[in-house]
Structure 1
Amino acid sequence: MARYERLFDAVVDGVQRVEDLAVLLEISPSTVRRALTELEQAGRVVRTHGGAVPVPAGAAELSWTDKQRRNAPAKRAIADHAAGLVDDDHVVILDAGSTTTFIAERLAERSGLAVITNGMGPMIALQHAEGVDLTVVGGRLRRRRGSLVGDHARAVLERVTADIVFVGVDGLDPGRGLNCPNPEIGGLKELLMRSARRTVLVTDSAKVGAAPFHHWALIPGPYTLVTDSAISDDARAALDADPQCESVVLPPRTSP
């Protein structure tokens, strides 16, 4: 995100329209829009009609309900594809997050599944799904993230082996791992991935290559990444260079 510090500083100083930022920084409006999207994903700005405003201090980590509203069409398309990877007799782990909540909504229509989750969003989506055997891990609730963490959550996950786990992403550096807001979340994501035979990362493309936080979760083995077609050429090249990664880039959505 360092390459966008001048743009972020300009937004903080009150230059908040795309066109004005483009003139000030002598870059194209499309570059400004891409930069604002990445800054929004990092929790530093909030997009507005025609521009962006800075996020108030202390609000760097967006709530999971806020995240659901960001890039929702792409996340729903990713969820549609991800749900198609699940067989009716699978044991599934769903990480906390906005995209995994959309996956849970798709799985709620199925039967014969067992789902384990540490997320409030997936839990709410599946609470009335009579065809799904739902287990919610215990633990301490991180309200902003909608995530159950701590020793109780770890104790459940250490005792299961699921067929597939879907893990949400704050930032992904192919070859290094998942960028996380704190070591606790990082450790839990590592455990989620170790607790399943197949790991699938689900994220909109703005988070591929992003690293808004200072902590990392290592990806323990081969994984599949499902993302959208807006992924940058640099990010796609980095994924192709990671021998552990099987990337699924969904085609652009067409207007009805």
Structure 2
Amino acid sequence: MYAEERQQAIAEVISNRGRVSVADLSTTYGVTTETVRRDLAVLDRLGVVRRVHGGAVPASALTAAEPGVGEREYTRAEQKDAIAAAALAYLPLNGGSAVFDAGTTTGRLAALLGNERELTLITNSIPIAARVAPLTGVSLRVLGGRVRGTTQAAVGEETLSALEWLRVDVAFIGTNALSVGHGLSTPDSDEAAVKRAMVRTANHVVVLSDSSKIGREHLVSFGRLDNIDVLITDDEIDEIDRKSLTDNGIEVVIA
């Protein structure tokens, strides 16, 4: 295989899998780690990948850009629907409490709630609050604060103050990215602070994330892997990523 062919193949692997290590690429293509590092340096200069410690990620993986709710609502919708359906099994028993993070997948879970379930539901998401407000069995608490137009979620000191004194049975958390090295991450620091506080409030943390986010990293980390009890994702997760997560003590549920 010529160097250009190998570099193209490496770029495709990184695009599909997210973060990939130098050692894995060396084994896959039967070349030395020094050769892989040279290939990654070429791809980095071309703007195709970004080199990180021990490997590389897609060029888009470290961007601070953040798509809005409208754009994300229809991205990987089938996988998000399956993840939300699987997450129903992790709702607390009748009379329990849950915090719902803002996001399109957590929003799909909220849309599946019915009048028969008695639940105290706390959220900073305007769309989620609107969805569950008519449900007679749900006692809804909406966290105040400045609402970010991008995510339609309340953030800031008022939101954090409200979360400081809470303890809930389950937190359903969305994320923009998830990796072994950087944990759960998102592009916005205010959003990250609220997500971090939500994780702290919960006895049990369930992360809802489609597989395209696994292996990626964004600017601000808001949780380590040992903060996660369960990850619900879709069946396109790479087996190496799945094993790495389970080795870190996370229950990985394939929807």
TM-score, with structure 1 as normaliser: 0.73
Please tell me whether residue 35 in structure 1 is matched to residue 15 in structure 2: yes
Q: Equivalent residue of 1:230, what SS?
A: coil
Which ranges of structure 2 fall in alignment gaps of 5 or more residues? 19-59
Query: Which amino acid letter does the alignment assign opposite residue 153 of structure 2?
Result: S
Deviations 1:91-115 (A, max 9, x none): 0100000000001001244431110
| Cα deviation, residue 218, structure 1 | 2.4
The alpha-carbon distance between structure 1 residues 151 and 206, as it changes in their structure 2 partners (threshold 3 A), is same
Equivalent in the alignment of 2:121: 115
Please tell me whether residue 235 in structure 1 is matched to residue 241 in structure 2: yes
Partner Cα distance (1:63, 1:81) in 2: 25
Aligned residues: 210
Quick one: which of 77, 80, 83 aligns to 2:85?
80
Equivalent in the alignment of 2:68: 63
Partner Cα distance (2:73, 2:64) in 1: 16
Equivalent in the alignment of 1:102: 108
Moved more, 159-168 or 103-112: 103-112
Moved more, 173-182 or 68-77: 173-182
| Cα deviation, residue 221, structure 1 | 3.1
Structure 1 consecutive aligned stretches of length 4 or more whose deviation exceeds 4 Å: 25-28
Partner Cα distance (1:35, 1:123) in 2: 35
| Cα deviation, residue 59, structure 1 | 9.1
Please tell me whether residue 225 in structure 1 is matched to residue 231 in structure 2: yes
Superposed counterparts of 1:88-237, under 5 Å: 88-174=94-180, 176-211=182-217, 213-219=218-224, 221-237=227-243
The alpha-carbon distance between structure 1 residues 140 and 157, as it changes in their structure 2 partners (threshold 3 A), is same
Query: Which amino acid letter does the alignment assign opposite residue 247 of structure 1?
Result: V
Equivalent in the alignment of 1:16: none
Partner Cα distance (1:121, 1:238) in 2: 34
Which ranges of structure 1 fall in alignment gaps of 5 or more residues? 1-22, 39-54, 251-256
Moved more, 196-205 or 86-95: 86-95
TM-score, with structure 2 as normaliser: 0.73
Higher percent of residues as helix: 2
The alpha-carbon distance between structure 1 residues 233 and 106, as it changes in their structure 2 partners (threshold 3 A), is same
Deviations 1:137-185 (A, max 9, x none): 0000001111100111111111211110000010011354211113222
Q: Equivalent residue of 1:60, what SS?
A: coil
| Cα deviation, residue 26, structure 1 | 4.9
Q: Is the 8 A contact 1:179 1:215 kept in 2?
A: yes
| Cα deviation, residue 60, structure 1 | 2.2
| Cα deviation, residue 222, structure 1 | 4.5
Partner Cα distance (1:75, 1:228) in 2: 8
Deviations 1:203-244 (A, max 9, x none): 101111111x2211123635210101100123113212213x
Partner Cα distance (1:137, 1:193) in 2: 15
The alpha-carbon distance between structure 1 residues 177 and 26, as it changes in their structure 2 partners (threshold 3 A), is closer
Partner Cα distance (1:37, 1:64) in 2: 24
Q: Which structure has the larger Rg?
A: 2
Query: Which amino acid letter does the alignment assign opposite residue 133 of structure 1?
Result: S
Q: Relative contact order (C-alpha < 8 Å, sep 6+): which is higher?
A: 2
Q: Equivalent residue of 1:197, what SS?
A: strand
| Cα deviation, residue 27, structure 1 | 4.3
Q: Equivalent residue of 1:107, what SS?
A: coil
Tell me the C-alpha RMSD between the 2 structures: 3.0
| Cα deviation, residue 72, structure 1 | 0.7
Q: Identity of counterpart residues, as a percentage?
A: 28
Q: Equivalent residue of 1:239, what SS?
A: helix
Equivalent in the alignment of 2:44: none
